[in-house]
Chain A
């Protein structure tokens, strides 16, 4: 029997060192699984695998020691329990996310719904090479946005509301960047120092700092054979419509300019940051 390894890999079956054994990669979005999904995964690992799972570096789950002969049964039983298989190869991979503002007091954006939207739009899409999205809720950056080909980081654009302010002094200390200064009865925001962390908004007892949530995007991050930090080329993006327009443009640029098996970062550097920036800015401005 000839084995179509490529087809298997597309479906998330990773060939193991042990012949005819596969580590089955599952689809996980934003690091969230329901209790029901976990039970399904546990049952499959017990029945078809070696009774264990591996948690991957990007919030994924793999079930090792799945036998080639069981592949179709495993897929069907997983699906019946609400679990889909993941992807490997040259396509959009697992979209990662931290818990974001729904759970985390530091969060500036609701990361999980955004990760789901990104995943619905792009997951599994064929590209010249792998492509990773990561969503982190704030500049604490637990999800390491800049490691990703396209990183999304939540932040607040902040504005001081003098009528609400009692000059209590809390924000002056809450700001770690030294971006807020008191000048007499006024507070001055040094916007060049502000990193959009939102700590002034979150700490203010009088709601005298208004925070508008937005997305800080980074492009071309990679943390494998080549290590490079994703670069910010745009101002903070304020709505998901613009975010998706920009992401569409980034993927189109990748498709258009990359050689086969070339990572996004390498393609940008070969084509030049200037034309890349131009394409992204055009999309940003609509």
Chain B
């Protein structure tokens, strides 16, 4: 993760589908084109589906890493305004 400069971090472990995606989408809307968002999400359904939904929105997924507490962090570069 050190390869990327993170502009904003959002935790979506406190919500469930479909709010996981909504929260991520809202966070991305706040950013400028090219900025990087770190999204902390739970294992299971969120990590299975949120990366794909963000891809389908047209943003660029950079990396998914597992954290020590069993959650995952997804790095996303915002594409578009």
* Cα(A204)–Cα(B63), bound, Å: 11
Q: How many residues on B have C-beta within 8 angstroms of the other chain's C-beta atoms?
A: 17
Determine if B51 and A205 form an interchain contact, defined as CB atoms under 8 angstroms apart: yes
Determine if A170 and B56 form an interchain contact, defined as CB atoms under 8 angstroms apart: no
* Cα(A286)–Cα(B33), bound, Å: 53
1/0 per position for B45-81, CB-CB distance to A under 8 A? 0011101100110001111111000001010000000
Contacts of A172 in B (CB 8 A): 64
Contacts of A176 in B (CB 8 A): 48
Mark out the residues of chain A between 207 and 248 whose CB falls within 8 Å of any chain B CB in the assembled complex: none
Q: How many residues on A have C-beta within 8 angstroms of the other chain's C-beta atoms?
A: 14
Given A105, A168, A199, A202, which contacts B61 in the complex, CB threshold below 8 Å? Answer: A168
* Cα(A192)–Cα(B60), bound, Å: 31
Determine if B47 and A173 form an interchain contact, defined as CB atoms under 8 angstroms apart: yes
Interface: A194 (CB within 8 A): no
Interface: A174 (CB within 8 A): yes
Contacts of B48 in A (CB 8 A): 173-174, 176, 199
Contacts of B43 in A (CB 8 A): 173
Q: How far is the CB of A125 from chain B (nearest CB, A)?
A: 40
Determine if A169 and B52 form an interchain contact, defined as CB atoms under 8 angstroms apart: no
Given contact pairs A168-B62, A168-B64, A173 touches B72 in the complex (Cβ within 8 A): yes
Q: How far is the CB of A182 from chain B (nearest CB, A)?
A: 12
Q: How far is the CB of A38 from chain B (nearest CB, A)?
A: 29
* Cα(A227)–Cα(B60), bound, Å: 47
1/0 per position for A156-183, CB-CB distance to B under 8 A? 0000000000101110111010000000
Contacts of B64 in A (CB 8 A): 168-170, 172-173
Determine if B61 and A174 form an interchain contact, defined as CB atoms under 8 angstroms apart: no
Contacts of A169 in B (CB 8 A): 63-66
Contacts of B56 in A (CB 8 A): 105, 202
Interface: A203 (CB within 8 A): yes
Determine if B65 and A205 form an interchain contact, defined as CB atoms under 8 angstroms apart: no
Determine if A174 and B52 form an interchain contact, defined as CB atoms under 8 angstroms apart: yes
In the complex, which residue of chain A has the Cβ closest to the Cβ of B46? A173
Q: Which residues of A contact B (CB under 8 A)?
A: 105, 166, 168-170, 172-174, 176, 199, 202-205
Q: Which residues of B contact A (CB under 8 A)?
A: 43, 47-49, 51-52, 55-56, 60-66, 72, 74
Q: Which 3 A-B pairs have the closest CB atoms?
A: A205-B61, A203-B52, A169-B64
Question: What are 27 A-to-B residue pairs whose CB atoms are below 8 Å?
Answer: A105-B52, A105-B56, A166-B63, A168-B61, A168-B63, A168-B64, A169-B63, A169-B64, A170-B61, A170-B74, A172-B64, A173-B47, A173-B48, A173-B51, A173-B64, A173-B72, A174-B49, A174-B51, A176-B48, A199-B48, A199-B52, A202-B52, A202-B55, A202-B56, A203-B51, A205-B55, A205-B60
